[in-house]
Amino acid sequence: MFRRIFSGKVQGYFIRQFSVCELPQELQDIQKTCRNFANRELKPVAAALDANSRFPAEQMKNLADLGLMRVTVDTEYGGSNLNMLALSLVVEELSSGCGATGSIVSIHNCLYADMLNRLGTKQQKELFFGKYPRETIGVFALSESDAGSDVAALDTMAVKEGDCWILNGTKAWVTSAAEAKSGIVFATVDSELKHKGITAFLLDFDQAAGLKVGNPEDKLGIRASSTCSLYLENVHIPVKNVLGPIGGGFRIAMEQLDRARIGIASQALGIAQAALETAVQYAKQRKAFGQSLLELSPVRMRIAEMAVRIESARLLVRKAACEIDRNGRATKACSMAKWIASETATFAAHNCQQILGGMGYVKNMPAERYYRDARITEIYGGVTDVQKAVIAELTIGEMNA
């Protein structure tokens, strides 16, 4: 859909037109389409998807038909050729309907499709984008049980034999692994080199004898999104499927995680916005002390704090997305956006529960799901303490320059 609407638009167009006050009409159209989709196809089923840990397969197919599973991918590979600001809006709106669906769309787009489109060779893109339909999920397998925030400590090994690399190891916390058909896997070609030995490999699950996908984790939130381990035992990957330079995996992973943090921050914004809207709607209807909750000063103060934090976080997220689109690197802005937006999601979900009282604690209202879904946004993509450390280091470095 968006490929047809926006054909001929270059990515920089949106940056030139963007202001903090108003999105250009093209982005407003994307926002409205995604908001309508969330209201129509996600909100009615979000509770059931969560309760049953059910992957939203039908919704993914419909999102792919809208061009939203390859948002930043070139049109020649079935993409919509939009930018990170557009992708941020997509994820925010979808997450307001279902945090898990927003997570699936975010991580697939930010960490797999965008990376393959940016760094893949023409042959790689033709193979991996061409083999599977647009709704097919790709994964990003970087973390390990002993190498989460400390990426340089990877144990998964890659040994070259002839025209293949042979991978052995275990990757942890892989989003959508249960449904995926392909992915980007990181391994070290020499553990002595630490981060300089890390290399990225494109993995076609159908061609990966020795690959086993573990059982999905039983998670607190985003339960419609599977999270599994990948077990690699003598998995052969052709030399042609090395993504980027040998030993260049750490650098490109860090660059891609900047984009992922915009996606996670956008997911957090969507959850926070849904929490605010639910709180206001409930407070309008609920009576206490002879008046609606909405007239009570403590409730109004909570709503004011939620609104200000959400708007502040939203501006940080859009600034980070624009910096990515303009310069390609925006590590400090992305860490700021991810930190503040994720804490805002938890804050808004908490206050939504407080306003709803007992109804905020039961499963026939969405407030408790918002809280459970919000918590992961402070954890994956780099815990909040990591974001603070990144911001501090870059800020100090700028002042000492």
Q: What is the mean pLDDT of residues 339-361?
A: 97
CA 116 to chain CA centroid, Å, is 16
Contacts of 5 (CB under 8 A, 6+ apart): 26, 29
- Whether residue 126 sits in one domain with residue 11: yes
**Band of the pLDDT at 329, cuts 50, 70, 90?**
confident
pLDDT over 80 at 5, yes or no:
no
Query: Where a domain ends, among 203, 222, 249?
Result: 249
Residues 314, 269: contact at Cβ < 8 Å? yes
The model's pLDDT over 200-232, given as tens digits with 9 standing for 90+, comes to 999 999 999 999 999 999 999 999 999 999 999
Q: Provide mean pLDDT across the span 379-397.
A: 96
Quick one: 96 and 7 in the same domain? yes
Residue 332 and residue 219 share a domain? no
Residues 259, 392 within the same domain:
yes
234, 119: one domain: no
Task: State the pTM of this model.
Answer: 0.93
Band of residue 20 on the pLDDT scale cut at 50, 70, 90: low
- What per-residue confidence (pLDDT) applies to 16? 40
CB-based burial label for 291 (10 Å; 0-12, 13-18, 19+): exposed
Q: What's the CA gap between 97 and 46, in Å, rounded?
A: 7
CATH of the domain at 206: 2.40.110.10
CATH number, position 288: 1.20.140.10
Q: Which of 131, 158, 175 is the last residue of a domain?
A: 131
- The candidate with the shortest Cα–Cα distance to 376, out of 348, 350, 342, 349, is 342
**Class of residue 359 by CB neighbours under 10 A (exposed 0-12, middle 13-18, buried 19+):** middle
Tell me: do 324 and 354 sit in the same domain: yes
Residues 125, 15, single domain; the answer is yes
Average pLDDT over residues 67-86: 97
Cβ proximity of 154 and 179 under 8 Å: no
Q: Which of 120, 164, 169, 165 is nearest to 143 (CA)?
A: 169
126 and 48: one domain? yes
Number of domains in the chain: 3
Residue 170 dihedral angles phi and psi, to the nearest 5°: -130, 130
Residues 263 and 394 both lie in one domain: yes
Q: What is the CA radius of gyration of the chain?
A: 21
Among candidates 327, 332, 321, which has minimal Cα distance to 262?
A: 321
In angstroms, what CA-CA distances link 187 with 87, 165, 169? 28, 10, 8
For residue 164, which amino acid is it? Answer: C
Residue 3 pLDDT more than 80?
no
What residue numbers bound the domain in which 146 lies? 138-249
Please report which confidence band the pLDDT of residue 146 belongs to, taking 50, 70 and 90 as the band edges.
confident
Residues 227 and 259 in one domain: no
- 297 with 370, same domain: the answer is yes
Instruction: Please provide the average confidence, as pLDDT, over all residues in the chain.
Output: 93
Given this model, what pLDDT does residue 7 score?
39
On whether both 210 and 271 belong to a single domain, the answer is no
Domain boundary among 69, 97, 131: 131
For the segment 113-125, what is each residue's pLDDT rounded down to a tens digit?
999 999 999 999 9
Determine the distance from the C-alpha atom of residue 257 to the mean position of all C-alpha atoms in its chain, rounded to a whole number: 10
Per-residue confidence at 126, pLDDT binned at 50, 70, 90?
very high
pLDDT, residue 244, reads: 97
Dist CA 345 CA 374 (whole Å): 5
Predicted confidence at residue 2, as pLDDT, reads 53
Rounded Cα distance, 349 and 372, in Å = 9
d(CA 356, CA 376): 22
Mean pLDDT lowest for which of 48-52, 144-148, 314-318? 144-148
Record the tokens describing residue 266, joined without a space.
């956008």
